Structure 1
Amino acid sequence: MAVGRIIFLNGTSSSGKSSIARELLDILDDGVFFHLAVDGFNEMRTKRNLAQGDLDAALRRTRMGFHRSIAAMAGVGNDVVVDHVLSEPWRLTDCLSVLPSQDVLFVGIRCSLDELTRREQARGDRPPGLAASQYDLVHQHGDYDIECDTSAASPRACAELIKEFLPRRPAPTAFARIRLRYLEADCEPTALGDMRTR
C-alpha cells in the first residue's frame, strides 16, 4: 500500500494555515485529502480545569497523539494537509521520528508581526500576544521545501503555489535534510521527541 502525501503547514497562530488548508482541499484534484489540525485535537480534550503540571502533560500527550494520527492516516494511503505550530523544539523532533520524511512537503507559513497582531485583535479568540510569542520560535529550524507569506498573498494564492509545487517536491525533502542535520550533530530524534546524544 502506497504511503499518502503529507503537506505540512507550519506557522504561528493566526498566520493563515487553516485558511490555506481549506483552500488546498478545494483545489487539490489528484487524490482525497484530509485536513488534520492541531487545534481540532485540542478541542476534543475535556474542558475541566487542570493544574498547570497536569495541563502541560496533557498538552504534550495531545500533540504526540496528533503526530501519530498523521502518520497513521498517511500510512494507510490517505493524503493529508497538516496544520501545526512547531513552537517547541520537541514537536519537530517528534514529527521527524514518526513521519516518513520522503513523503512530507514542509511548508513555512510566514506573516508580518504587525499583520499577525491585527488578525489576533480582529479574531478575539486568541490570547493577546500569542502569535508574537511564537514568532521567533516556529521557524528556528530554518529549512522548508517552500514558503508562503500570507501578509502578501491570499490563502487561495498560497494554496495554488503549494499545489503547483507538490509534484516537484525535492529529493531529499526538507524533512529529510533536517533529520540528517540532527543525525550529523550526533543526536537522534527519540520516540518521545526529545534529542538524545548518542
Structure 2
Amino acid sequence: MMSGQIVIVNGTSGSGKSTACRLFQQRAQDYWLSYGIDDFLANTLPARYGHHGPLATEGIQAVPVDPAAPDGPLRWTFGPYGVRAFEILHEWIATAARAGANIIVDHLLMTDTPVFADCVRRLDGLPVLLVTLKPPFEVLERRVAERQMDKKLPVEILGADAARRIVDRLTRLRPWFYESVYANDLADLTVDTAEHGPDEVCDLITARLAEGPGTAFARLRTAVSVM
C-alpha cells in the first residue's frame, strides 16, 4: 500500500493554520483526514496535565523565560507526560499515512522543545509537505486581541480570577511561541497570511503538492540527527 500524503501546517495562534486546514479538507476532492494542535491540547491531552492544569509540571508547564523576571514572558517546558503525548501525536500522524490516508495537520513545531525534532524523526520516510504560515507579530497580536479570549472561556465554571490568569498566561506566552515556532525557516512553502487569505493559502498548498514531494523534512532530518 502506498503511503498517504502528510501536510504539516506550522504556525502560531492567529496565523490562520486551523482555518486553512479545515478549508483545505472541505475543498479537497479526494480523501483527507484533518487534525490539529488545538484538538489535541483541548480534547486529547488530559486537562490536568496541560499548562493550565494542576499537574502541569508532569505535562506541559508555562514557566518564565527569565527566572529573574517571574512576571515577564513565559515559555513551555515539558514533563514526561508532555513529551510522551507529543510522541503519540506524531505516531498517529505517521500511522494514518502508512494506512494510506492523506492527512493535513495544523501544528506548533517549537524548535527549542522536544516537539520539533520528534516530529521530524517519527515521520521519517513518509511524504511530508511542510507549510509555514507566518504573518508579522503585530498582525498576530491584533487577531488574537479581536478574538476576546476572556469572553470565550467558561467563566461561570472557572471563576473570574482563574479566567483572568489563563488570558494573562496566554498573552505572556505569545512572544516565545512566535520566536520558537518560527526559528526554523526551512519549509516547502512559507506564506504571509497578512497578505494571503485562507482560500489563497489552500490554492498555494494545492499548487505546491502538484509540483511533487516536499523536501524540507528530509533536509531537517540531518539537523535533528545531531540534536
Query: TM-score band, normalised by the shorter chain?
Result: 0.7 to 0.9
Q: Which runs of 4+ in 1 moved over 6 A?
A: none
SS at match of 2:21: helix
**Residues 1:76 and 2:99 are matched in the alignment:** yes
Distance 1:69 1:81, change over 3 A: same
Moved more, 154-163 or 135-144: 135-144
Contact 1:3 1:76 in 2 (8 A): yes
Q: What amino acid does structure 1 have at the position aligned with 2:141?
A: T
Q: How does 1:52-91 map to 2 (within 5 A)?
A: 52-56=56-60, 57=79, 58-89=81-112, 90-91=114-115
Give the Å deviation of 1:101. 4.7
Unaligned runs of 5+ in 1: 188-194
TM-score where L is the length of structure 2: 0.74
Moved more, 122-131 or 37-46: 122-131
Which residue number corresponds to residue 3 of structure 1? 3
Contact 1:111 1:149 in 2 (8 A): yes
Task: Name which one, 1 or 2, has greater alpha-carbon Rg.
Answer: 2
**Residues 1:146 and 2:189 are matched in the alignment:** yes
Aligned identity (percent) is 29
Q: What amino acid does structure 1 have at the position aligned with 2:134?
A: R
Tell me, in whole angstroms, the C-alpha distance in 1 between the residues paired with 2:203 and 2:148: 29
- Aligned residue among 171, 175, 188 for 2:217: 175
Contact 2:32 2:103 in 1 (8 A): yes
Tell me, in whole angstroms, the C-alpha distance in 1 between the residues paired with 2:57 and 2:224: 29
Distance 1:170 1:3, change over 3 A: closer
Q: What amino acid does structure 2 have at the position aligned with 1:107?
A: V
Contact 1:42 1:62 in 2 (8 A): no
Contact 1:105 1:174 in 2 (8 A): yes
TM-score where L is the length of structure 1: 0.84
Cα distance per residue 1:60-91 (max 9 Å; x no partner): 22222111110111110010001101124321
Tell me, in whole angstroms, the C-alpha distance in 1 between the residues paired with 2:33 and 2:10: 16
Unaligned runs of 5+ in 2: 61-78, 150-166
